[in-house]
Amino acid sequence: MLPTALIPDGISVVVADAQEASLTLSNGRTKRILALKDSEKKKLLNVDIGKWNLTLESWVPGPDETKSTSAKKMLHLGTRTTLQPWSQIPVVQNASGVGTYTANFQLRIPSKDTITVLQFGPVLNTMRAWINGTQLPAIDIFDPQIDISSFLVSGFNLIRIELHLPCSTR
């Protein structure tokens, strides 16, 4: 994994070195990428998390439509190669509720100068995440990445991510 530089307007850029650079956007604007500081030049660790298991807890109308009751429905959706948005999974593209993604990955003992950043990609609603049972600090959905270095152990690690999709999106 290469260092990630953040520039104004919420753009993340993966850079091949720590030098200053510039980036010309498709609209013709040029953005300056500052050189990494010495403290930011720590080695990044590339971890292949592999497949994700997805379970969806959805609230659906109860069996008696004449009453205003609902029922919880658990959908076990199997494995995914990525944290795939529900809109791309036909069986649940109109569902609301809480999606729980889990995955295991193995890690050798990282050196003290290693930084491991978990990058989530686009996030449209709220989310929470855990590493090895410890809840991570709040994740900014406008910059959905977080340093997880201090939560990892040598050997097998478990990651759990909950994505919340409100009922109003049905």
> Is 0.75 topped by the overall pTM?
no
- 126: tokens are 């709220």
Quick one: pLDDT at residue 113? 63
Residue pLDDT, tens place only, 60-85:
777 777 777 777 888 888 888 877 77
Query: What pLDDT does 71 receive?
Result: 78
Ordered by where they begin, the domains of the chain are 4-41 (no CATH), 52-169 (2.60.120)
Low-confidence ranges of the chain (pLDDT < 50): 1-2, 6, 168-170
Q: What local confidence, expressed as pLDDT, does residue 13 receive?
A: 62
The per-residue pLDDT for 114 is 67
* pLDDT given for residue 45 in this prediction: 58
Q: What pLDDT, on the 0 to 100 scale, is given for residue 157?
A: 92
DSSP characters for 73-137? EEEEEEEESS---GGGSGGGTT--EEEEEEEEEEE----TTEE-EEE-----S-EEEEETTEEPP
Residue 11 pLDDT = 62
pLDDT at 119: 80
CB atoms within 10 A of CB 30: 8
